[in-house]
Amino acid sequence: MKMGTTRITTMQMITLLSSTLIAVGIFTLPRTLAIEVGTPDLWICILIGGICGYLSSLIIVSLSLRFNRLTFFEFNKLIVGKWVGTILSVCFIGYALLIGSFEIRSMGELTQFYLLEETPISVILISMYWVAMYLLVGGINPIARLIELLTPICIIIFILVFALGFKVFEFNNLRPVLGLGAAPVLKGLTPTFLTFSGLEFLLVFIAMMQNPKDAKKVAFFGLAIPVSIYLFAVVVITGGLSVERMKHQKWPTFALIQEYEYEGILFERFESLFLVVWLIQMFTTFVVCQYVAAKGVSTLTRISYKKANYILLAAVYIICLVPKDLNELEKMGTIIGWTSFVFSFIVPGLLLLIALVRRLKQDGETKDET
């Protein structure tokens, strides 16, 4: 593989997808779920939510594979015509920007609350932007490589930090299973599905894979990793804090980590370790979103990818300062979740249907060789 190639390997793609999916949800999902569900069956929601996510990613994959080597921004025109296609692309770019700014703002808020009380939030945000920018202008390859490098470490630390939570774990908090029937579980499906927003970026990235045939594998493992981390986290948090407590804690994940202390091993407290890894995950999610948006802009217009990045940066900064407080930020999260539902399920589903009916298919292999 040459340096500077624009193709990414299967492994890189898996880590890219999984680290996009692990984001702010690890802080917010436990409480949202606990409030919606109210019984200890939270983990079932995540399992089912993961399966739903996989099904919708299959739609995305089969759609992308019909149009070899073309990204969402290019092939939607072939399916629904230039005008509708452009509108869809613009919406998709807007959505990517929205989710990117949401993640970066949440990151800023939590960093300010737990780590840097006195630092102005704009300083936290801007320093993050600059680092992201440095990575972004290099194109997809450095991004994929960096994520491939970081993700395994992050996963190990996540698992470690949650596994240590077994110190306060009480199995009774997870019982009974389905005590109030299946109704509460169904209520929890929406927030879970919304947490897996980011899946729709596959629409863009499959076109860049070295072996697009592996796309199904990517969808499976790329989802399985975050789903199992969320699952593990929710099981440990429910066991450690009880559902009742999760409802009353703004960030149950952090409460759990604060609850235990270990003496005699390298660290006694694990908040900082967890926050560092989590920051890395937020960073990668932001970078991926920003990449998708810039890629879209450069495909649609004549602006180069690099310039698009700089222009969008300003947009992201403005969007991310729109929510005035944490409640508004949370509302923004819900809006993003629903938009995500549209882009990862409804839009690809409709496009696939139209493509099937019109028998549209493009073999890009020949075009690709040139």
Q: Which stretch binds other proteins (CB under 8 A): 10-18, 108-116, 147-155, 285-293?
A: 108-116
Query: Is residue 9 classed exposed, middle or buried when 0-12, 13-18 and 19+ CB atoms within 10 A define those classes?
Result: middle
Q: How far is the CB of 120 from other proteins (least distance, A)?
A: 8
Q: Is 125 in the site for other proteins (CB under 8 A)?
A: no
Q: Please, what is the minimum distance in Å from the beta carbon of residue 245 to other proteins?
A: 4
Q: Is 261 a residue that touches other proteins (CB under 8 A)?
A: yes
Q: Whole-number minimum distance, CB 170 to other proteins, in Å?
A: 9
Among 9, 190, 249, 298, binds other proteins (CB under 8 A): 249
Single-letter residue type at 163 = A
* Least CB distance to other proteins at residue 313 (A): 20
Does residue 182 interact with other proteins by CB under 8 A? no
Minimum Å gap between C-beta 125 and other proteins is 13
Distance (Å, rounded) from C-alpha 197 to C-alpha 330? 15
Q: Which is nearer to other proteins, 127 or 211 (CB)?
A: 127
Nearer to other proteins, 262 or 338 (CB): 262
CA distance 164 to 132: 32
The 10 Å Cβ neighbour count of residue 166 is 12
Query: What minimum distance in Å lies between the beta carbon of 44 and other proteins?
Result: 15
| Binding segment (CB under 8 A) for other proteins, from list 211-219, 227-235, 245-253, 344-352 | 245-253
Piece in contact with other proteins (CB under 8 A), picked from 87-95, 154-162, 252-260, 330-338: 252-260
CB of 117 to other proteins, least distance (A): 6
Those residues with Cβ within 8 angstroms of residue 256's Cβ, 6 or more apart along the chain or in another chain = 162, 165, 168, 236, 237, 240, 241
* Residue 175 interacts with other proteins (CB under 8 A): yes or no: yes
By CB under 8 A, residue 167 contacts other proteins: no
Distance CA 23, CA 34 (A): 19
Considering only residues 232, 260, 305, 317, which one is a binding residue for other proteins as defined by CB under 8 A?
A: 260
Q: Compute how many other C-beta atoms are within 10 angstroms of the C-beta atom of residue 225.
A: 20
d(CA 105, CA 317): 9
Count Cβ atoms below 10 Å from residue 276 Cβ, excluding itself: 12
Sign of CA dihedral 218, 135, 160, 30: negative
Task: Return all residues near 62 (Cβ < 8 A) that are at least 6 apart.
Answer: 352
**Sole binder of other proteins in the list 60, 161, 209, 255 (CB under 8 A):** 255
Decide if residue 119 touches other proteins (CB under 8 A). Answer: yes
C-beta of residue 103 within 8 angstroms of C-beta of residue 282? yes
130 binding other proteins? (CB under 8 A): no
**Contacts (CB under 8 A) with other proteins, residues 30-59:** 39
* Residue 122 near other proteins by CB under 8 A: no
Task: Report whether 185 contacts 178 (CB < 8 A).
Answer: yes
Alpha helices in the chain (DSSP H): 10-21, 25-37, 42-66, 72-80, 82-114, 121-136, 140-164, 183-195, 202-205, 215-241, 243-247, 252-259, 271-300, 305-320, 326-341, 347-357, 365-369
Residue 6: other Cβ atoms inside 10 A: 10
Which tokens belong to 180? Answer: 């109030």
Least Å from the CB of residue 248 to other proteins:
4
The CA–CA distances, whole Å, from 310 to 66, 142, 303 equal: 33, 18, 11
Give residues 213-232 in contact with other proteins (rule: CB under 8 A).
none
118 versus 369: smaller Cβ distance to other proteins: 118
Which member of 122, 163, 267, 269 binds other proteins (CB under 8 A)?
Answer: 269
When the beta carbons of 175 and 367 are compared against other proteins, the nearer one is 175
> Out of 6, 84, 138, 259, which residue is the one contacting other proteins (CB under 8 A)?
259
327 binds other proteins (CB under 8 A): no
Binding site for other proteins (CB under 8 A): 39, 113-120, 123, 168, 172, 175-176, 179-180, 241-242, 244-245, 247-249, 255, 258-261, 269
